[in-house]
Amino acid sequence: MAHTAAVDMEGPILAAEVIAFLLQQRSHAGCFDEFVDVLCSYFSGRGGQAPTKGDLTEAARFRSALGKWNDCLAKGKAVPANSVLQATFAVHEAAAAVALTGQPDGDWTAIRSVLEDGACTRLAEVAKEARNVRLLERGTQLRQSLSQDWRDTGGYKNALAVTRQAFVQEHFATAHKPESGVVVMNMHKAKGKQFDEVIIFEGWPKRYKGEIVGNPDRIVGGNVRAGAMTQARQNFRVSVTRAKTRTTIMSPNDDVCVLLLSDE
């Protein structure tokens, strides 16, 4: 069924900036430092206004590692073999060696593949997140802008700035665009929107030998009663009231959402 997906923008946008930076294939002194800075911005910003402690810790870890890395280089010493940046640097160098063609789609995919196939697990995560750029419908505008940059400079010299500008323009163009057709989103993204019909779908519990061992993708965390469940009730109420005519709730019949059960 044809549909669009409403996803949180921060992660895919910042992941796209990482790939855009690598498309520039810069080789000046300090280039790797700039790359790590863009990567740290991804960690710090992908959670939007509520970054996780883990992401902030990861950004701080990379910045600290870069300081030690540069200190070793300044003193003419070998960089630490166990540095978290070893795999990151290897991927950075591999991306710089990619033979670009001037075809933005193919070149973007080639750089993304380097991240996916490299030894740096963090950059592999970035590559996976960047695939959502298609869901954000940035492809056409971004491709045209990158093509123009190639014609103007003989490379993607301004890819990072071009990518950032493309997302800014698209944001203002779609900020007040009404939803139409079938739209897939999480409950959080539904806030403030209105639809003819809403279908709320819960995932199934994971079982082992008949026992529930995992219960992700539920309206209430783990589908377990815990106190007033105020936030879960609020999210549920907001989602149900997004519909103009009808709301359908789909919950596993062998582990029905606790909000649909009697309080007795």
pLDDT at 155 > cutoff 70: yes
pLDDT at 174 > cutoff 70: no
Biggest CA–CA distance in the chain, Å, is 72
Average pLDDT value over all residues in the chain? 88
Q: Which of 12-21, 43-52, 127-136, 144-153 has the lowest mean pLDDT?
A: 127-136
pLDDT at 128: 93
Half-sphere exposure of 121 (CA within 13 A, CB side): 2
pLDDT at 133: 77
pTM tops 0.85, yes or no: no
Burial category of 22 from C-beta neighbours within 10 Å (exposed 0-12, middle 13-18, buried 19 and up): buried
- Is residue 200 within 8 A of residue 219, CB to CB? The reply is yes
Kindly indicate the confidence band of residue 61, based on its pLDDT and cuts at 50, 70 and 90: very high
Q: What is the pLDDT of residues 220-255, one digit of tens each?
A: 988 888 887 888 898 899 999 999 999 999 999 989
Kindly indicate the confidence band of residue 97, based on its pLDDT and cuts at 50, 70 and 90: very high
Q: What is the pLDDT of residues 196-223, one digit of tens each?
A: 999 999 988 898 888 888 888 898 988 8
DSSP run (H or E) holding 174: helix 159-174
pLDDT at 222: 86
pLDDT at 91 > cutoff 90: yes
pLDDT at 7: 62
If you average pLDDT over residues 151-165, what whole number do you get? 95
If you average pLDDT over residues 141-152, what whole number do you get? 91
If you average pLDDT over residues 174-183, what whole number do you get? 69
Half-sphere exposure of 193 (CA within 13 A, CB side): 22
If you average pLDDT over residues 9-14, what whole number do you get? 87
Buried b (16+ CB within 10 A) or exposed e, 67-85: eebeeeeeeeeebeeeebb
How crowded is residue 203: how many other Cβ atoms within 10 Å of its Cβ? 13
pLDDT at 264 > cutoff 80: no
- Is residue 127 within 8 A of residue 15, CB to CB? The reply is yes
pLDDT at 135: 46
Kindly indicate the confidence band of residue 193, based on its pLDDT and cuts at 50, 70 and 90: confident
Percent of the chain with pLDDT over 90: 57
pLDDT at 136 > cutoff 50: no
Q: Is the dihedral of CA 86, 91, 95, 97 positive or negative?
A: positive
pLDDT at 6: 66
Kindly indicate the confidence band of residue 178, based on its pLDDT and cuts at 50, 70 and 90: low
Instruction: Report the SS3 class of residue 248.
Output: strand
Taking the domains of the chain in order of start, what are their residue ranges? 8-174, 185-260
